[in-house]
Structure 1
Amino acid sequence: MAEPRDGRQRIAPLSPFEEEAGFTRALRVGDRIVVSGTVGVEADGSVAEAAGDQADRCFALIADHIAELGGRMADVVRVRMFVTDIAYADEVTASFSRALRHARPTGTLVAIAALYDPRWKVEIEAEAVLGSGQ
C-alpha cells in the first residue's frame, strides 16, 4: 500500500490503465475509504455472463480493497451501482443484500447506456467510514 506525502493511502495499481489515467482504485484518507467503480472481472480476465455473478465479484473485490486499507464491509456507508439494463436491477440488488444487508448503507442503483467493455453489465462504487460498522 503506497503512502504518498499527501497522507493518502492507496492500494497498489492493478492495471497499467490506472497509471496511464492517473487514478486510484481504492484510497484511504483519515477514517474514510473510497473505492472507485469496480467491475466483475475475474483474476484470469474472464467475465461471468449473469449480472448478479458480476455484482458478486464486484463486492468481493470491494471487500478486498477495503480490507487492504484497514476497513471492513461493516464500515460501508454508501454504495452506487450502475447497470447497463434496468432488467439487471433485481439480480444486482440481491447481490448488494448478500454483501451488505448487515451494514445497511445508503444505496443508489441507476441504469446507464454502456460501460467500457460490452461484457460488463454492472459497475459498483463504495465508500466506508472506519469504525462505523457494527
Structure 2
Amino acid sequence: MVLIISPSRCIVIYIALLLRSQKSRHKKKRRIFRTHIGRNAVTKIDRYSTGSYFEGFAGYCRAVRLGDRVVVSGTAPQPPEGKDLSELDTYTQTIMSLENALESAAKVGGDKELTIFTRLYLAPNASWEEASKAHSEIFDAIRPANTTLYIQRLIPPGALIEVEIECGVANAQQG
C-alpha cells in the first residue's frame, strides 16, 4: 500500500505527534518523581567523563551512577598509539570497547560482576560472530541480558563496534 501525504498534512501530523509525546513525557516524569520520593531513593548523581572531545561537543558523560545503578554510554574502541581502527578486527575492537566501558563503570562504582545488560552496535562490515565470541569471553560467567544489532554506521572512522553497559554497584548500601 502506498500512502501519499501533502507537506501541510505532514506538519499537522508532526505537531500532533509532538504534543502527544510531550504529554506522555510529562506523565512519565511525574511518575518517576513520585517513585523516587516514595522509596526515599538517593538523588545524588555521579558522573564520569573521559574528557574526550566528543563528550564535550555532544554534552554527555561516559558513565552515570544513580543510586545502585550505573549506565555507560556508547563506547567505541580507542586504537593503540600509531594504529588505525581500520587495522583491527571485530573481535579485537569488541574486547577493547568492553574493557573501556567496564573501566568507565568502575570509575563511578560499577561492578563487572553485577552487569545486567549489554548492547553491541555493529557496523555493516563487522562480524557478529567475532563480537559475540569476545562478549562471551568477558561475560561468560555473568551472562547479562544482551542485544546485538547492526546499524548503518558508527561515528569513529574505522570503528566496527560500539558498546553500552548497565550494571549494579557492589556494596551499594555502604557507598
How far apart are 1:13 and its partner, in Å? 3.4
Q: Give aligned pairs, total.
A: 127
TM-score with structure 1 length normalisation?
A: 0.85
Asked if the contact 1:86/1:111 (under 8 Å) is kept, the reply is: no
Larger radius of gyration, structure 1 or 2?
A: 2
> Structure 2: which 5+ residue stretches go unaligned?
1-42
What code does the residue aligned with 1:20 have?
Answer: F
TM-score with structure 2 length normalisation?
A: 0.66
How far apart are 1:63 and its partner, in Å? 1.6
How far apart are 1:43 and its partner, in Å? 5.4
The partner residue of 1:95 within 114, 117, 134 is 134
The partner residue of 1:39 within 76, 82, 87 is 76
> Structure 1: which 5+ residue stretches go unaligned?
1-5
Asked if the contact 1:86/1:110 (under 8 Å) is kept, the reply is: no
The partner residue of 2:99 within 51, 60, 72 is 60
Q: Which has the higher contact order (CA 8 A, sep 6+)?
A: 1
Q: By percentage of residues, which structure has more helix?
A: 2
The 3-state SS of whatever aligns with 2:134 is: helix
Paired-residue identity, % = 28
Could you tell me which residue of structure 1 aligns to residue 45 of structure 2? 8
Structure 2: how far apart are the matches of 1:128 and 1:86?
29
